[in-house]
Amino acid sequence: MERLTRKEHTTSRNYTYTYYLVIQSPEKPTLLLQHGFPDDHTLWARILPSLLTSGHSILVPDLLGYNGTSKPTNTEAYNSKGLATDLVEILDHENINKIISIGHDWGSYMAQRMWLWFPEKVAGLIMLNIAYDPPAPFDLDATNAAIEKATGLPRLAYWEFFSSSDCADAMSANIDSWFEALHGNPENWLETLFCHRDALSDFVRQGKRVPLHGYAESLRDNWVNTFERDGFVGPLQWYLVKVSGIQWEVEKELPRERHVVKVPALFIGSKKDTVCTTAAIDVPRGQGLLPQLTVEEVDTGHWPMLEAPEATGDVIVKWLAETV
């Protein structure tokens, strides 16, 4: 992150955001890199050298609830209209008119919401691992039942743990187990732990341990120190705002025609991500919601920018050069 300047901005909602910015070619749209759960701006550190070769300016925020940014505990604060407005206020503060909205995991959801709420700002959309999820009512039990019927597994079983009242405390009390749950090395680890009811909850609460992926060893200390300090109450609101129905109550005001992404879009899936599968993009694509979609796949698990930053960066830079 050494080429990026650390900045802060307080939005009209009175939340202070920390973000990192480098200005390159002002005529090109700025790359807005939005991390997921449970990460922060450092998620992108390994891929930045590749992205910088594109010539695009880059802005990397800590999203609401994370690291240097405010961490409200009221779930409503995490509604997507408010979050998108916060980010647009930062863009306006920096005189940035156009972006390529890029996100991983919940950051992919956020990247999509930048298009939905502020399409005039978005010149392109890049989604990593999490497929396009248009606004719709959400029922966790019904969703898991439908996924289990279709695939044999309740692939959002881990959401049941994440939406439990003591989840944040359990994660903090067993933080090393929680990190290893995220980045464990056994084959099909995420599917084993995340897609079976109570498996993740039992692993974390019982303080179980597992060997790490090689890419994660050097990340542990910084990640543990950050979340020991900040906790997980804020980050978990990203799940609770959807499970509670608050997100739909806000997003149902969006016009249906806005659900169609009318700018070039890139989806990068991971061959070994058995929780958030590449095939998930087939549903919104089949519904005609992504008419300018390109799909690529990298040979990694859920964190391609950590596991294979050069290969993942090359996919993005090539798409930018050919498409935007």
User: Are residues 280 and 298 both part of a single domain?
Assistant: yes
47 plus 62 within the same structural domain: yes
- Contacts (Cβ under 8 Å, ≥6 apart) of 258: 116, 119
Q: How far is residue 240's CA from residue 58's CA, in Å, rounded to a whole number?
A: 30
Task: Name the residue among 158, 175, 303, 168 with its Cα closest to residue 243.
Answer: 158
Q: Which of 158, 137, 121, 150 is nearest to 275 (CA)?
A: 158
Bond from prior residue into 137 cis (ω within 30 degrees of 0): no
- Which residues, in sequence order, are CB contacts of 110 under 8 Å at separation 6+? 34, 63, 80, 83, 84, 87, 103
Same domain, 110 and 259: yes
| Dihedral, 239, 59, 51, 312 alpha carbons, nearest 10 | 0
Asked if residue 109 and residue 44 are part of one domain, the reply reads: yes
- Report percent pLDDT > 90 for the chain: 97
> Is residue 130 located within the same domain as residue 259?
yes
- pLDDT (mean) for 125-147: 98
With 0-12 / 13-18 / 19 or more C-beta atoms within 10 angstroms meaning exposed / middle / buried, residue 255 is: exposed
Residue 171 banded pLDDT, cuts 50, 70, 90: very high
- Angle at which helices 80-93 and 106-117 cross, to 10°: 80
Report the distance separating Cα 182 and Cα 115, nearest Å.
29
For 20-51, the pLDDT digits (tens) are 999 999 999 999 999 999 999 999 999 999 99
How far is the C-alpha of 162 from the C-alpha of 198, rounded, in Å?
A: 11
The predicted-structure confidence for 211-262, as pLDDT tens digits, reads as follows 999 999 999 999 999 999 999 999 999 999 999 999 999 999 999 999 999 9
Q: Which of 224, 244, 264 is the last residue of a domain?
A: 244
Query: Could you tell me if 162 and 303 lie in one domain?
Result: no
Please choose, from the candidates 134, 126, 115, the residue with its C-alpha nearest in 3D space to the C-alpha of residue 251: 134
Kindly provide the residue ranges of all beta strands, DSSP E only, lying in the chain, ordered along the sequence: 5-10, 16-22, 30-34, 58-61, 99-104, 122-128, 265-270, 293-298
Q: Domain range spanning residue 160?
A: 140-244
258 and 132 in a common domain: yes
Reply yes or no on whether the pLDDT at 1 is more than 90: no
164 with 301, same domain: the answer is no
Q: Are residues 57 and 115 in the same domain?
A: yes
- Interval 96-120 mean pLDDT: 99
> CATH number of the domain that 259 lies in?
3.40.50.1820
Q: Which residues pair with 7 in a beta bridge?
A: 19
Whether the CB-CB separation of 204 and 292 falls below 8 Å is answered with no
Q: Please state the φ and ψ torsions of residue 233, each to the nearest 5 degrees.
A: -60, -45
pTM reported for the whole predicted model: 0.98
Does residue 195 sit in the same domain as residue 225? yes
User: How confident is residue 2, by pLDDT bands cut at 50, 70 and 90?
Assistant: confident
> How many structural domains does the chain have?
2
Count of C-beta atoms within a 10 Å radius of residue 293: 17
User: Band of the pLDDT at 187, cuts 50, 70, 90?
Assistant: confident
